[in-house]
Chains A and B, each alone.
Chain A
């Protein structure tokens, strides 16, 4: 379990960012990984007073604050209508309702975790992160960036006309995914976002997918996989083909 010396509820983003420049300090997300680390944190910075726990919907976009919980995502009617409940599908098998009441969008996205269903599904949408210093950055660029001491303020999902579907393969119902797969069509572009490879999600895009099986083979070919406790690289590659094809077929029926 980590040790923490001080706790501060930041009263402004500036304050939070300033505190975060000290390498001994840490921004608190949902803290589900609290017991897992054994390091020492100087000041834990809580963003809970900054009004970042809301999802704002306009005609053009969704603005999802960093402190929005996964459960908020799961239950948001507008977001799930727009995404054909793909966002709900992405989070509903994550551990449990209690867990999802705590885990935050900011924590999931900033962490850029390999196992993240959240990252996988948002990568398939027209998503941007808003960084305090770094400004608005497309998510597909953000995931390539090295971790720094900036602050993730919100996620922006542009409401481009979109079909999307999400699926994952898990060995046990609420386990980490062995493979996560979101397939979307935005405009003319088909995207396959493959996560839990076991590394973080990558995007494979094309205007010319061919049949679902052809698209699946194309995605599998362009997505490196690895082995870990939950599965081998070969199995993951196999799953990419299977799940991508199923998602594409489902997309075709939308």
Chain B
């Protein structure tokens, strides 16, 4: 089947099978930041934005992206660069495998709620698992970023 979508700002036309998963499609198109972590929709590593909303690309058919706009971290480098340095300062990147999904979902959070409380941050990011960092460093990083914006 042919699908037409906007991927990171570029119009893309591609031929996919009905059961091609968006995650695999995106990686095949060079968006290697999108990771496969769990196969059961539980980890959040595969988070991408569809029409601005964070979704799990592992559980989305590529055909469902037809006539929609998909963004991966490859297309949001500037927006990510705004705050990821603060995460890096905490050392909370660690193995990095959860980073793209976490960064994508943080972008979605801050677009929806530019001034979240710590609890709101935790709740919004609850679907992003991390095994290395213990989560608190990621929160400290976001908090430092938000504080720097107010200063």
Q: Which residues of B contact A (CB under 8 A)?
A: 1, 17-19, 21, 39-42, 44, 47, 53-56, 58-61, 63-64, 105, 108, 123-128
Contacts and interface: CB of A to CB of B under 8 A. Distances in A.
Given A36-B40, A98-B47, 12 more contacts: A2-B19, A28-B64, A32-B41, A32-B56, A32-B59, A34-B61, A35-B21, A96-B128, A97-B125, A97-B127, A98-B55, A102-B55
Query: Chain A interface: which size bin?
Result: 20 to 34
A96 B127 contact: yes
Contact of A4 (B19, B53, B55): B19
Contact of B59 (A44, A97, A102): A102
Given A96-B44, A102-B55, A31 B61 contact: yes
Contacts of B42: 95
Interface string A74-116: 0000000000000000001101111101100000000000000
A41 B18 CA distance: 10
B74 to A, nearest CB: 18
Nearest to B58: A35
A97 B19 contact: no
Contacts of A5: 18
Given A31-B59, A35-B41, A36-B40, A7 B127 contact: no
A6 interface: yes
A7 B65 CA distance: 12
A35 B39 contact: yes
- Of the candidates A7, A28, A102, the one having the most CB atoms from chain B within 10 angstroms of its own CB is A7
Given A4-B19, A35-B59, A97-B54, A92 B39 contact: no
A174 interface: yes
A128 B53 CA distance: 29
27 contacts: A3-B19, A7-B1, A7-B63, A31-B61, A35-B21, A35-B40, A35-B58, A44-B19, A44-B61, A46-B63, A46-B64, A95-B42, A95-B126, A96-B125, A96-B126, A97-B54, A97-B124, A98-B44, A98-B54, A98-B56, A98-B127, A99-B56, A101-B54, A101-B55, A102-B55, A102-B59, A174-B126
A101 B127 CA distance: 11
B22 to A, nearest CB: 10
A147 interface: no
A32 B46 CA distance: 13
Contacts of B61: 4, 7, 28, 31, 34, 44
Nearest to A71: B53
A121 B42 CA distance: 23
Contacts of B64: 28, 31, 46, 48
B57 to A, nearest CB: 9
B18 A6 contact: yes
Contacts of A2: 19
